[in-house]
Structure 1
Amino acid sequence: MPQQPPPLIVFDDDPESLSPMTDLRASFEVRTGALTTLERIEHALGRDAAAVWTSDGLAGLASERLDVAVNELPAGDALLLVSARCALPPEAIGELKVGEALREAGGGELVAAHLARADAERFLKAGGKAGALPRGLKSVEQKERCMLRHPCDVIRLRDAAIAMDLALFADEEQVEGLGPGVAILGDHHVAVDPTAEICPLVTLDAQGGPIVIGPDAVVRPGAVICGPAYIGAGSTIVDRAHIKANTAIGPVCKIGGEVGGTIFQGFSNKAHDGHLGDSWVGEWVNFGAGTTNSNLLNTYGEVMMQSSAKAKRVRTGMTFLGAVVGDHAKFAIGTRLMTGAVIGTGAMVAVSGFAPATVEAFAWWTDAGEKRYRMEKFLIAMEAMMGRRDMDATGRYVERVKGLGDRAG
């Protein structure tokens, strides 16, 4: 009888390092391609996670959103632990034996470990810190980069993550005869859910990669979608939008203008003209008409990024890097975002010049300078936007938001 694989535990060892992406979700819930990291790990290993593990501050939110045990270990003499920051899970994870760990070359980041139950429990309760790993653990080196260490890494690993995700749809039936004037270009796979609506004069350009359009999505007349690309369930691509390669749009978004190389977590609006490139966008974000970002310096040099006022500026080693935008951020019409900008959770930006490269959480930026977004006003706006999608914030969600506001000062 074949031996059963060990229960899979996806653990969140350092969510703070990925803020603002992880202010309102655990690292394994972050959409790092067409899928979240948790979904990709499960597909790569061929089984569902038996449990996930995260900080106490995020555990309640994760338990509301996920159909999996949170911070509770399943039965089993040994457990397979995989880091929630592993955006590109390698095959070597499934080959680990008890007492072995997979580490990323260069920085030695822990990718995964196959541990005896007592060792796994001790490690997880210590917050997934390397010092809590058992002595004598044998290390196996992972040569290719697979871990998120900084928010910019979601763009660094984006193309490979999207390619891995879209390959899962390769067996779905190739679409034919979508309607009058709909053009399909190229030889890559195009998968359109039967409930999706593709309007006349849409171009699906699969010359550069596959295109997947999910349930109840709508692509309006004149839109052009270039693969590889993913349009999530219930999202709308507005008239004459240009969706460029390596874009992944989560559920219930409304997207227009020119968008390329950008990941939307979900439930966000960029319905108007304006460029957004090589960026990551959280939930409940609204881009005012004409909002545009820079994803390339005039010098063609390396982009720097600073994730918060207290963080160090990081040399990203990247030439193309746009913005990382936290949940509930709002932008006035005509906003201009700097190359490598980071916009904190709940920020409001309404400046006539370039927005600051780093905008703190719950900052209210105008030409008069920076103020704090009053929490009572913020919550009214938050509830109004979520209500437009027939959704309500849970008590835990509101408390988490208030806690983030208190930390912001």
Structure 2
Amino acid sequence: MNNYILYDDAAVRPHLLPFTFTRPVSEIRCGILTLTEKWAHFLHAKPSFLTEPYLQHKFPFVATNDNIFLNGAVCATASIATAVGQLKAGEALIALENDQVIAYRSPFEVVKPVSELKTVLFPEPIVTIQRLWDIYGENGAQIKADFTTLTQGRVSQPVADPFTHVYAPENVFLEEGARVRASILNAENGPIYIGKNATVNEGSVIMGPFALGEDSTVNWGAKMRMNTSIGPHCKIGGEVSNSVLFGFSNKGHDGFLGNSVLGEWCNLGANCNNSNLKNDYTNVKLYSYATETLEDTNRLFCGLFMGDFTKAGISTLFNTGTVVGVNTNVFGAGFQPKHIPSFSWGGAAEGFTEYRIEKALQVAYETVSRRGEAFGEIEEEILKHVFEISRGNNQK
């Protein structure tokens, strides 16, 4: 049986911070599934990870004398998996359209093997997540692809509620235990996937493509617009458009979230809003950890990117193209800065101070424990490491 290892491309990972502060690249969610889950599904195997040393305890690396290294930024497909499975020792699978490395077979931890290994060209277009805005930019298409993957040959649970109206019911799939009450599901423009034991509460309007993860809840009167993915164990409400929540995060109240990505264990207070379009209709610029400058996204619509364990107080306003780091507490009047470093405490009006690590860890522990999940020494050490490399805004 082949040994698969998902690796972080050193040229990609810095551009996906702050999300890759706390996870390998492939643990990013785009569509219904994470990139790891896409690979695992098509390969019928559970890969290990080659990532930053401080993350390896949580995401183990398992090597043998014959490994197939997989680019963690690639959105796997059935045809990619077939080509990967046919690789011979010393071969690298390269995308014909852009020379992107997809995978390679080698006993060595070589991340850029093109010059050393025999090239096998993959003729089909591929999708890779290389910048923050790719996460929401590719999300609608990935929902459609994952929907086909997860539902092929299966029968949906029925929408039993007589007060729920469904448009294009053939594009709606409910997993076991999913409940929809007195809502509108419009799947005419793309599929709607409701995960296991997930709930859509009364008065909600959902437009596909849309995905709701296991045990997640759409709150009363919510407006879920196209190309939105809500990961597992989330609570979502208000108006949400073309956004991704990785999992275990809450935006339960009214307020707008658009063209945005939230990591895990985030919380937006009541009436939080973000801008996703500039008044002058010019391209949005976004803070890049890789260059420590504002980078042109070449997109008119671009919103909020929030790292794990970050919280925003009630009525917090985020400007167009805002990047907030890990374990930050943001609150107060006025639009917040376009970049808020990890472990910051405060807001635009009050100013920011350093979030004391002892307090930050205690809040993180309480946040996770109240959901019945484990927050142990491994998770604590990851946050301590991010804290140290983030001090003085010297984040790498």
TM-score with structure 2 length normalisation? 0.89
SS in structure 2 of the partner of residue 339 of structure 1: coil
Select which of 77, 97, 101 maps to 1:110. Answer: 101
1:39 is matched with 37
2:49 is matched with 52
1:229–1:313 Cα change, 3 Å: same
Q: 1:243 offset after TM fit, Å?
A: 1.0
Q: 1:133 offset after TM fit, Å?
A: 5.1
Can you give the 5+ residue segments of structure 1 that lack an aligned partner in the other structure? 63-69
1:398 is matched with 380
1:223 is matched with 204
In 1, the alpha carbon distance for the partners of 2:369 and 2:109 equals 42
1:18 is matched with 16
**Counterpart residue type for residue 62 of structure 2:** E
Can you give the 5+ residue segments of structure 2 that lack an aligned partner in the other structure? 392-396
Aligned partners of 2:97 and 2:125 also within 8 Å: no
**Counterpart residue type for residue 82 of structure 1:** L
Select which of 290, 313, 332 maps to 1:351. Answer: 332
Select which of 252, 256, 265 maps to 1:284. Answer: 265
Q: 1:348 offset after TM fit, Å?
A: 1.4
In 2, the alpha carbon distance for the partners of 1:402 and 1:142 equals 44
Deviations 1:90-116 (A, max 9, x none): 735632643443445686442222x3x
Q: 1:254 offset after TM fit, Å?
A: 0.7
Q: 1:52 offset after TM fit, Å?
A: 2.9
Aligned partners of 1:172 and 1:191 also within 8 Å: no
Aligned partners of 1:159 and 1:246 also within 8 Å: yes
2:131 is matched with 150
Select which of 359, 362, 365 maps to 1:380. Answer: 362
Matches within 5 A, 1:9-408: 9-14=5-10, 15-43=13-41, 45-62=42-59, 70-74=60-64, 76=66, 79-87=67-75, 89=77, 91-92=79-80, 94-95=82-83, 97-98=87-88, 99-104=90-95, 108-113=99-104, 115=105, 117-118=106-107, 121-123=108-110, 128=111, 130=112, 135=116, 137-138=118-119, 140=121, 144=125, 146-168=127-149, 169-199=151-181, 201-308=182-289, 311-366=292-347, 367-408=349-390
In 2, the alpha carbon distance for the partners of 1:73 and 1:171 equals 35
1:49–1:150 Cα change, 3 Å: same
Deviations 1:224-273 (A, max 9, x none): 11111111111111100111111111111110000111111111110100
In 2, the alpha carbon distance for the partners of 1:388 and 1:329 equals 16
Aligned partners of 1:104 and 1:147 also within 8 Å: no
C-alpha RMSD over aligned residues: 2.3
Question: Which stretch shows the higher mean deviation, 167-176 or 333-342?
Answer: 167-176
Question: Which stretch shows the higher mean deviation, 306-315 or 249-258?
Answer: 306-315
In 1, the alpha carbon distance for the partners of 2:362 and 2:117 equals 54
SS in structure 2 of the partner of residue 22 of structure 1: helix
Q: After TM superposition, where is structure 1 displaced by more than 6 Å over at least 4 residues in a row?
A: none
Q: 1:322 offset after TM fit, Å?
A: 1.4
Deviations 1:372-407 (A, max 9, x none): 111112122212221221223110110110111111
Deviations 1:123-157 (A, max 9, x none): 1xxxx2x2x55525326366745222222221222
1:8 has 2:8 as partner: no
Deviations 1:292-349 (A, max 9, x none): 1111222222111113496232221222221111001111111111111111011111
Aligned partners of 1:278 and 1:295 also within 8 Å: yes
In 2, the alpha carbon distance for the partners of 1:336 and 1:19 equals 22
SS in structure 2 of the partner of residue 60 of structure 1: coil
SS in structure 1 of the partner of residue 293 of structure 2: coil
**Counterpart residue type for residue 12 of structure 1:** D
In 2, the alpha carbon distance for the partners of 1:282 and 1:316 equals 20
In 1, the alpha carbon distance for the partners of 2:93 and 2:373 equals 40
TM-score with structure 1 length normalisation? 0.87
Q: 1:159 offset after TM fit, Å?
A: 2.0
1:166–1:380 Cα change, 3 Å: same
1:90–1:306 Cα change, 3 Å: farther
Deviations 1:347-390 (A, max 9, x none): 11113111111111111132121211111121222122212212
1:111–1:315 Cα change, 3 Å: farther
Deviations 1:182-222 (A, max 9, x none): 111125421112312222x2111111111111111111111
1:66 is matched with none
Q: 1:274 offset after TM fit, Å?
A: 0.3
Aligned partners of 1:309 and 1:360 also within 8 Å: no
In 1, the alpha carbon distance for the partners of 2:6 and 2:385 equals 25
**Counterpart residue type for residue 57 of structure 1:** Y
1:89–1:193 Cα change, 3 Å: closer
For this pair of structures, how many residues does the alignment match?
A: 384
Aligned partners of 1:281 and 1:325 also within 8 Å: yes
Q: 1:180 offset after TM fit, Å?
A: 2.8
1:53–1:234 Cα change, 3 Å: same
